[in-house]
């Protein structure tokens, strides 16, 4: 179904005034929807048998600038059955008075993904979503003042009476003079916070409120989970995050595209290559140079990304072992990961945050002998995986701890926007490397492993774990194919320069573009808005971290489980807090 | 009792006490080295050659660390907890026969502190007391994780004591005595009257049940739920620091040593070893017997560690299911089978 | 004898502490100590088996369960319920009956032999077993049936009706 047919469908269903405009000039056409009917439109698109837009990829709140006095929300929808994508936009006028935030109807009841995305938009851009069940701040502290991603935001000088010591003196005079005075926000905006506080206070009387994290060994970083438990049974789980929030999006809109690459590394810091790869591909497509990239460069990118994917999955498997109580697999995984780290360090000079993939090329060609060493690693690593499977995957205690635990049904997974191994663990063969076929993946042969419920029910923790184990195998296969090409027809030549195609100026045309790629944890998306043809700095960037969406499903599948199962479930989701908090 | 006898007893007690502590100390070292071996690492190698001074360094660290007693903890009980844990761990060794009697200068020196006629039950009592250290410490910490750990410890210990007791009853039917010294004596040599003399060959299922319960009673992996790090941070010892924490950890290793000794004595012939009748010097037999017992103990300790670094951990309800729905019926079946066997084949 | 009096004093002392302790967990711990002194009494009577069984069953299991329950309830001073007037009346009544029973039993008290057993081996496992399984076989078996029925009853009480499983 084409863009026009979808438009016709909506017009026929809701009348002529539902669509107030359309944008066709960019790479991705968008429909401008009347603000009041966005929820109905989304529901219709989701449930109509000829569209089935069942996945909300990304929801971005946008401040269109101080002159425009306009705020907008952009929805990227995907129809998994029909392989369709569409962009919807709504916008509201607002005079930036903090007592009257721009208001947009919520779509959290249509897509559960939207719950956290709307909270994020409220938190960072200050858009109020009417009817949202729990509109509290999510990444920033509850008592934060202002909305950092607004264009008129001024960094606070004091936080709770403590002077904030900025490392670099700002060269923007506006930032030096303003003192923010505490203000009384509209009670409507703190209503959800009060409701939440009341809930915790009530729960503390009848049940036990157990605070897990941010310093807890198995929350995999600085995640804080508030558990309302009845003895060992968890009644409700409330995640709190933001302890690692750096506001990547603020960085991205202050720096050029090239300068932002190191910051993408720090999002999912366990798989920096795939992050940078996605970013770079997005920028290249906006520039229109994605077809000019030499094949050798693309193959090297895929090679290092897959190596990085293996190392990321190794951590997922190893730490999952620890969560279940098996310590030895963890160190085996780290031992093998060390080889990958060594190789990537050899190529890029850095062990975790590589900054290796650049727009239009690479930081440097692979070092001489890399391919041989990589092949040695593959040969060494295959038996090690078999050994690991014997120790952990097929262990009876491990199976009884993970099978039939934390079952994530497919419809719930899609509704919560889960992607990557979490979605595949629920039994859907959905891998963007195959679906979108970006880079040189169409030329490569690999399987997409899915959860089959071999030990219990499809979508349980064991399935998610097993998908990662199988993906390591497939990644090894991809690496072997890349090495074949790189050692034969795409062999290193003396005059090969990986920086030859680097553009002088990274100035794309004014457009907005959502690019998604398969990161180690799932669909990693970047939504770029570029409005100044002469600037190298994007107007707005929204990063859709797969971990953020995968984590949002945890409260839904931890009702009524035991505390030990909570650990098993959050371990099987495999999130990285650097990406959740960004 | 003569003074010299009293002195000998005191010396024996001190020697056993010191040996328990040294074995426990070096168990920590062995655990690290064994873990390192399983995990393709080197393990501690900085303190002394091959890191053999590591336990001393650890001990020094434990003593020098800051003592923290949380403000809202119950101060006195907070200290009683680890003290009880180490106390109950240490007193278990009193009834274990470490070897045959030595004869020096016409004086018979028994290598057992006391051979009370309810030795096995004494061990049992001590084990069942061990949970108080954990419960009191966990409760006094005034921390939810500690409380959960304490509760888990209590229910786990009580549940597994039952199957442990039932598995021992079958053994008692075979041996006909509750005295550990007597049981060790019965398993003389290795082969007697056309069958193995060690109890493990007479009670294989009982031994299996006993060792599983021993893992649970010492809170060792895969039954280390009371202190499991990934769920309860540190379990009952979350709030502990310094040597009070050290006591808890130490108690675990001493418990492991004592339960290995008990298992060796009850099922693996204690100080007996094959072909001991070929040696005619009784003193040499006694000394070799002590060596044999310690070899068996170290094998068991290695087994404890081997399991810990191989297996994942059970979940709380699975642990209870295993205890109540598998081990107890098996133990009862073992008693019935033993009874039938003794009635018809005696 | 002096050991006996010392231990007897400790028993009474700790049992008074049990009822006077403010914190229920503390009073359970005093109860543990009280039972420990009982164990010593048994040893003094040369009843080793009873001593150890008292140790294992009462100190090692039953009181652990008491402690377990109290920890779960987590009573503190504020949560202590106010006792209604009727309960106080009932307590006074019960206490009065206890006093009457004590006085009447003390009236019947005769001077017994000093604590010296006529057969010092009576408490040993072998003799105890012979007595239990010959003379007192029927009461023994009946009490085991009683325990079994109590256990079944406890299980029945504890089994709740299955709640419908939470759906996502």
* Token pair recorded at residue A384: 């090690």
Dihedral, CA of residue C84, residue C89, residue C92 and residue C93, to nearest 10: -140
Alpha helices in A207-291 (DSSP H): 248-252, 257-265, 272-287
Beta partners for residue A209, in sequence order: A228
C14 shares its domain with C73: yes
A76–chain C nearest CA distance, Å: 25
In terms of residue numbers, what domain contains C140? 121-160
Q: In what order do the strands lie in the sheet with A233-240?
A: A208-212, A224-230, A233-240
Q: How big is the B-C interface in CB pairs under 8 Å? A: 62
Q: How far apart are CA A148 and CA A182, in angstroms?
A: 16
Q: What pLDDT is stored for residue C146 in this prediction?
A: 93
Predicted confidence (pLDDT) per residue in A282-303, tens digit: 888 888 888 888 888 888 889 9
- Does C167 map to a domain? no
* pLDDT over threshold 50, residue A179: no
CA–CA min distance A317, chain B (Å): 13
CB of C125 within 8 Å of a chain B CB? The answer is: yes
Confidence class for position C97, pLDDT limits 50, 70, 90: very high
**pLDDT mean over C107-118:** 64
Q: Which among C62, C11, C69, C19 has a CA at the least distance from the CA of C35?
A: C11
How far CA A433 is from CA of A315, A411, B23, B208, in Å, comes to 22, 22, 56, 51
8 Å CB contact between B218 and B259 = yes
Selected for mutation to probe chain A from B224, B230, B237, B314 (highest A CB count within 10 Å) is B230
Q: Is B235 on the interface with A (CB under 8 A)?
A: no
Non-local (6+) Cβ contacts of A569 within 8 A are A405, A406, A461, A554, A557, A558, A561
- State whether A324 and B310 contact (CB < 8 Å): no
Give the three-class secondary structure for B109: strand
Query: What is the nearest CA distance from C167 to chain A, expressed in angstroms?
Result: 9
> Residues with Cβ < 8 Å from A171, sequence gap 6 or more?
none
Reply yes or no on whether the pLDDT at C75 is more than 60: no
Name which of A92, C29, C133, A60 is nearest B137 in CA terms.
Answer: C29
Of the pLDDT bands very low, low, confident and very high (cuts 50, 70, 90), residue C167 is: very low
Q: How far is C38 from chain B (nearest CA, A)?
A: 14
* Number of domains comprising chain C: 3
Span A391-417, average pLDDT: 87
Query: Minimal Cα distance from B228: which residue of A?
Result: A325
SS3 state of residue B345: helix
Nearest to A325 among B35, B221, B233 (CB): B221
Q: What is the mean pLDDT of residues A165-174?
A: 59
pLDDT bracket for residue B199 (50, 70, 90): confident
Q: Do A326 and B311 touch (CB under 8 A)?
A: yes
Rounded to a whole number, what is the distance in Å from the CA of A84 to chain C's nearest CA? Answer: 28
The architecture CATH gives domain A248-581: Orthogonal Bundle (1.10)
Q: What is the pLDDT of residues B209-266, one digit of tens each?
A: 999 988 888 888 788 877 776 777 777 888 888 888 888 888 888 888 888 988 888 8
Asked if the C-beta of C165 comes within 8 angstroms of chain A's C-beta atoms, the answer is yes
Structural domain boundaries in chain A: 3-177, 248-581
Q: Where does residue B142 rank: exposed (0-12), middle (13-18), buried (19+ CB within 10 A)?
A: middle
Count Cβ atoms below 10 Å from residue A573 Cβ, excluding itself.
26
List chain B residues with CB under 8 Å of A232: 148, 316
Chain B interface mutation, best of C28, C60, C63, highest count of B Cβ atoms under 10 Å: C60
A461 touches chain B (CB under 8 A): no
Of residues B320 and C83, more confidence is placed in B320
Cβ–Cβ gap B39/A328 under 8 Å: yes
Per-residue pLDDT tens digits for A447-461: 888 888 888 888 888
* Nearest of B155, B164, B120 to residue B134 by alpha carbon: B155
Q: Which chains are adjacent to chain C, needing at least 3 Cβ pairs under 8 Å?
A: A, B
Query: Closest by alpha carbon to A89, among A41, A48, A52, A148?
Result: A41
Q: In a mutagenesis test of the C interface, which of A559, A561, A562 is the best target, namely the one with the most C β-carbons within 10 Å?
A: A559
Q: Mean pLDDT across the stretch B180-186?
A: 83
A391/B contact by beta carbon, under 8 A: yes
Q: Quickly list DSSP for B117-151.
A: TTHHHHHHHHHHHHHHHHHHHHHHTT-HHHHHHHH
Q: Is C55's CB within 8 Å of B147's CB?
A: no
Q: List Cβ<8 Å contacts ≥24 apart for C67-71.
A: C67/B135, C67/B139, C67/B154, C67/C25, C67/C28, C67/C29, C68/B135, C68/B151, C68/B154, C68/B155, C70/C24, C70/C25, C70/C28, C71/B135, C71/B139, C71/B147, C71/B150, C71/B151, C71/C25
Rounded Cα–Cα distance for residues A347 and C147 (Å): 73
Per the structure, the count of domains in chain B is 1
Q: Do C168 and A231 touch (CB under 8 A)?
A: no
- Is there a single domain that holds both residue C95 and residue C127? no
- Which of B124, B161, B178 is nearest residue C125 as measured by Cβ atoms? B178
What is the Rg, in whole angstroms, of the alpha carbon atoms belonging to chain A? 24
Instruction: Report the pLDDT value the prediction gives residue C96, as an integer from 0 to 100.
Output: 92
pLDDT of residue A174: 52
Residue of A328, A329, A389 to mutate for B, most B C-beta atoms under 10 A: A328
Q: What is the CATH number of the domain that holds C71?
A: 1.20.120.1200
Cis before B222? omega within 30: yes
Looking at the fold, whether C42 and C3 belong to one and the same domain comes out as yes
Distance CA A121, CA A130 (A): 13
More confident residue, A180 or A377: A377
Q: Do C64 and B116 touch (CB under 8 A)?
A: no
Omega into B143 within 30° of 0, i.e. cis? no
Of C64, C124, C125, the CB nearest to B131: C64
Q: Which pLDDT value is given to residue C94? A: 92
**Which chain B residue is nearest to residue A208, measuring alpha carbons?**
B144
Element (H, E) at A415: helix A410-415
Mark yes or no for CB contact B310/A326 under 8 Å. Answer: yes
Residue C49 forms contact with B (CB below 8 Å): yes
Q: Dihedrals φ, ψ of B311, to 5°? A: -100, 150
pLDDT digits (tens, 9 = 90+) for B294-313: 898 999 999 988 988 888 88
Q: How would residue C117 be classed by pLDDT, with cut points 50, 70 and 90?
A: low
**Separation of alpha carbons A6 and A66, rounded Å:** 33
> Is residue C168 a part of any domain in this protein?
no
d(CA A29, CA C129): 91
Say yes or no: C71 contacts chain B, CB-CB below 8 A: yes
B82-125 residue pLDDT tens: 888 888 888 888 888 887 877 777 777 777 777 777 788 888 88
Determine contact: C72 vs chain A, CB below 8 A: yes
Out of C69, C91, C110, a domain closes at C110
pLDDT at position A171 is 56
Residue C166 inside a domain? The answer is: no
Range A3-177: architecture per CATH: 2-Layer Sandwich (3.30)
Assess whether pLDDT exceeds 80 at residue A124.
yes
A409/C168 Cβ within 8 A: yes
Q: How far is C83 from chain B (nearest CA, A)?
A: 27
Taking only the tens place, the pLDDT of each residue in A27-69 is 888 888 888 888 888 888 888 888 888 888 889 988 888 788 8
Is residue B326 within 8 angstroms of chain A, CB to CB?
A: no
**CA-based Rg of chain B, rounded to a whole angstrom?**
21
Q: What share of chain B is helix, strand, coil (3-state, %, to 5)?
A: 70, 5, 25
Task: Calculate the average pLDDT of chain C.
Answer: 79
The pLDDT mean for chain B works out to 84
Is residue A4's pLDDT more than 50? Answer: yes
Nearest CB to B312; choose among A216, A326, A565: A326
Predicted pLDDT of residue C148: 92
Residues C73 and C136 in one domain: no
Q: Which residue has the higher pLDDT, A1 or B159?
A: B159
pLDDT confidence bin for C168, thresholds 50/70/90: very low
Q: Are residues C138 and C100 in the same domain?
A: no
- Identify whether residues C72 and C87 lie together within a single domain: no
Model confidence at B47: pLDDT above 70: yes
Q: Is the pLDDT of residue B188 over 90?
A: no
Mark yes or no for CB contact A323/B221 under 8 Å. no
Residue C8 maps to a domain: yes
**Chain A contact partners (≥3 CB pairs within 8 A):** B, C
Could you tell me which residues of chain A have a Cβ less than 8 Å from any Cβ in chain C?
231, 409, 412, 556-557, 559-560
How is residue A439 written in tokens? Answer: 């880079």
Determine which helix (DSSP H) or strand (DSSP E) holds B104, and give its type and residue range. Answer: strand B99-104
Alpha-carbon distance of A412 to A423, in angstroms, equals 10
For residue A180, the model assigns a pLDDT of: 53
Q: Spell out which chain B residues touch chain C, with contact meaning CB-CB distance below 8 angstroms.
A: 77, 116-118, 121-122, 124-125, 127-129, 131-132, 135-136, 139, 147, 150-151, 154-155, 157-158, 161, 178
Q: How far apart are CA C134 and CA C127, in angstroms?
A: 11
C61 touches chain B (CB under 8 A): yes
Q: Are A253 and A541 in contact (CB under 8 A)?
A: yes
Query: Residue B90: its pLDDT value, please?
Result: 85
Domain, as residue range, for B162: 3-345
Residue from the list B125, B132, B139 with its beta carbon closest to the beta carbon of C52: B125
**pLDDT class of A532 with cuts at 50, 70, 90:** confident
Task: Decide if pLDDT at A77 tops 80.
Answer: yes
C-beta of residue B267 within 8 angstroms of C-beta of residue B210: yes
Question: Residue C166 and residue A559: Cβ atoms within 8 Å?
Answer: yes
CB contact (8 A) between residue B231 and residue A400: no
Judged by a CB distance cut-off of 8 A, whether residue B227 touches chain A is no
Q: Over range A528-545, report the average pLDDT.
A: 87
């Amino acid at each position: 179904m084409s863009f026009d047919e979808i438009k016709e469908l909506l017009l026929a269903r809701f009348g002529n005034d539902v669509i107030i405009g359309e944008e066709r000039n960019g790479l991705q056409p968008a429909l401008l929807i009347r603000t009041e009917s966005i929820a109905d439109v989304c529901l219709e698109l989701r449930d109509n048998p000829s569209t089935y837009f069942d996945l909300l990829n990304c929801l971005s709140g946008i401040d269109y600038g101080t002159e425009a006095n306009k705020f907008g929300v952009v929805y990227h929808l995907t129809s998994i059955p029909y392989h369709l994508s569409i962009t919807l936009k709504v916008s509201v006028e607002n005079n930036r008075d903090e007592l009257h935030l721009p208001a947009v109807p919520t779509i959290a009841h249509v897509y559960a993904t939207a719950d956290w995305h709307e909270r994020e938009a409220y938190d960072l851009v200050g858009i109020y979503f009417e009817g949202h069940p729990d509109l509290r701040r999510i990444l920033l502290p509850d008592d934060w003042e202002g909305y950092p991603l607004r264009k008129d935001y001024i960094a606070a000088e004091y936080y709770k009476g403590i002077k904030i010591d900025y490392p670099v003196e700002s060269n923007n005079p506006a930032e030096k003079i303003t003192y923010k005075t505490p203000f009384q926000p509209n009670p409507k905006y703190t209503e959800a916070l009060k409701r939440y506080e009341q809930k915790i206070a009530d729960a503390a009387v009848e049940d036990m409120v157990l605070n897990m994290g941010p310093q807890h060994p198995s929350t995999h970083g600085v995640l804080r989970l508030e558990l309302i438990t009845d003895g060992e049974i968890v009644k409700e789980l409330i995640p709190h995050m933001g302890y690692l929030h750096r506001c990547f999006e603020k960085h991205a809109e202050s720096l050029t595209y090239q300068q932002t690459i190191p910051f993408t590394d720090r999002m999912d810091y366990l798989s920096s290559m795939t992050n940078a790869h996605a970013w770079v591909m997005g920028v290249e497509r906006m520039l229109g140079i994605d077809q000019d990239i030499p094949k050798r460069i693309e193959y090297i990118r895929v090679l290092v990304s897959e190596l990085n994917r293996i190392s990321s999955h190794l951590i997922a498997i190893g730490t999952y072992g620890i969560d279940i109580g098996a310590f030895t697999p963890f160190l085996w995984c780290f031992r093998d990961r060390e080889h990958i780290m060594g190789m990537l360090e050899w190529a890029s000079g850095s062990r975790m945050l590589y900054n290796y993939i650049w727009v239009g090329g690479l930081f440097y060609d692979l070092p001489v002998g890399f391919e041989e060493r990589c092949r040695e690693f593959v040969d060494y690593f295959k038996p090690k995986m078999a050994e690991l499977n014997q120790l952990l995957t097929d262990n009876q205690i491990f199976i009884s701890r993970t099978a039939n635990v934390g079952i994530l049904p497919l419809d719930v997974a899609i509704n919560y926007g889960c992607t990557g191994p979490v979605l595949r663990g629920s039994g859907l063969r959905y891998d963007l490397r195959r679906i979108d076929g970006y880079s040189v993946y169409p030329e490569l042969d690999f399987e997409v492993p899915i959860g089959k419920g071999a030990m219990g029910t499809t979508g349980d923790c064991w399935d998610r774990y097993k998908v990662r184990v199988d993906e390591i195998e497939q990644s090894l296969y991809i690496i072997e194919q890349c090495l074949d090409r790189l050692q034969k027809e795409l062999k290193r030549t003396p005059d090969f320069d990986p920086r030859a195609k680097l553009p002088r100026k990274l100035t794309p045309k004014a457009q907005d573009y959502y690019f998604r790629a398969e990161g180690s944890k799932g669909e990693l998306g970047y939504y770029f808005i570029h409005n100044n043809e002469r600037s190298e700095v994007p107007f707005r960037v929204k990063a859709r971290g797969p971990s953020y969406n995968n984590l949002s499903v945890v409260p839904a599948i931890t009702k009524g489980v035991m505390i030990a199962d909570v650990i098993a479930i959050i371990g099987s989701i495999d999130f990285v807090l650097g990406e959740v908090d960004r | 009792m003569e003074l010299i006898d009293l002195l000998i007893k005191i010396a024996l007690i001190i020697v056993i006490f010191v040996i328990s502590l040294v074995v426990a100390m070096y168990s920590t070292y062995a655990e690290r080295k064994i873990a390192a071996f399983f995990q393709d690492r080197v393990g501690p190698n900085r303190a002394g050659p091959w890191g053999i001074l590591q336990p001393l360094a650890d001990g020094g660290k434990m003593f020098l660390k800051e003592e923290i007693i949380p403000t809202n903890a119950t101060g006195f009980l907070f200290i009683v907890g680890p003290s009880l844990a180490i106390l109950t761990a240490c007193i278990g060794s009193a009834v274990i026969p470490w070897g045959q009697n030595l004869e020096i200068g016409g004086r018979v020196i028994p290598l057992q502190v006391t051979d009370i006629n309810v030795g096995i039950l004494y061990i049992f009592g001590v084990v069942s007391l061990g949970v108080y250290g954990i419960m009191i410490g966990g409760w006094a910490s005034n921390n939810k994780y500690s409380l959960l750990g304490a509760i888990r410890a209590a229910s786990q210990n009580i549940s597994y004591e039952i199957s442990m007791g039932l598995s021992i009853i079958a053994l008692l039917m075979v041996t006909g005595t509750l005295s550990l010294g007597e049981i060790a004596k019965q398993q003389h040599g290795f082969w007697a009257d056309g069958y193995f003399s060690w109890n493990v060959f007479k009670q294989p299922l009982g031994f299996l049940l006993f060792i599983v319960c021993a893992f649970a009673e010492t809170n060792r992996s895969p039954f280390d739920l009371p202190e499991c790090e990934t769920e309860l941070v540190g379990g009952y010892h979350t709030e502990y620091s310094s040597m009070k924490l050290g006591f808890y950890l130490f108690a675990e290793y001493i418990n492991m040593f004592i339960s290995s000794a008990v298992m060796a004595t009850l099922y693996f012939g204690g100080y007996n070893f094959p072909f001991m009748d070929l040696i005619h010097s009784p003193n040499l037999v006694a000394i070799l017997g002590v060596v044999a017992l310690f070899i068996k103990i170290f094998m068991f300790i290695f087994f404890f560690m081997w399991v810990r670094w191989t297996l994942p951990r059970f979940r709380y309800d699975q642990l209870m299911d295993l205890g109540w729905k598998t081990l107890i019926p098996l133990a009862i079946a073992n008693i019935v089978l033993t009874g039938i066997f003794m009635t018809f084949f005696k | 004898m002096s050991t006996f009096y010392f231990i007897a004093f400790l028993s009474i002392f700790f049992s008074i502490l049990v009822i006077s302790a403010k914190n229920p967990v503390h009073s359970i711990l005093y109860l543990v100590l009280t039972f420990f002194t009982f164990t010593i009494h048994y040893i003094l009577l040369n009843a080793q088996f009873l001593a150890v069984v008292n140790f294992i069953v009462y100190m090692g299991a039953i009181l652990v369960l008491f402690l377990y329950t109290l920890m779960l309830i987590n009573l503190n001073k504020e949560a202590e319920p106010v006792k209604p007037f009727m309960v106080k009346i009932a307590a006074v009544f019960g206490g009065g009956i206890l006093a009457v029973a004590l006085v009447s039993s003390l009236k019947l008290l005769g001077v017994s032999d000093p604590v010296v057993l006529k057969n010092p081996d009576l408490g040993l496992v072998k003799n105890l077993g012979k007595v239990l399984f010959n003379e007192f076989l029927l009461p023994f078996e009946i009490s085991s049936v009683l325990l079994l029925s109590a256990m079944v009853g406890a299980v029945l009480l504890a089994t709740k009706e299955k709640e419908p499983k939470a759906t996502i």
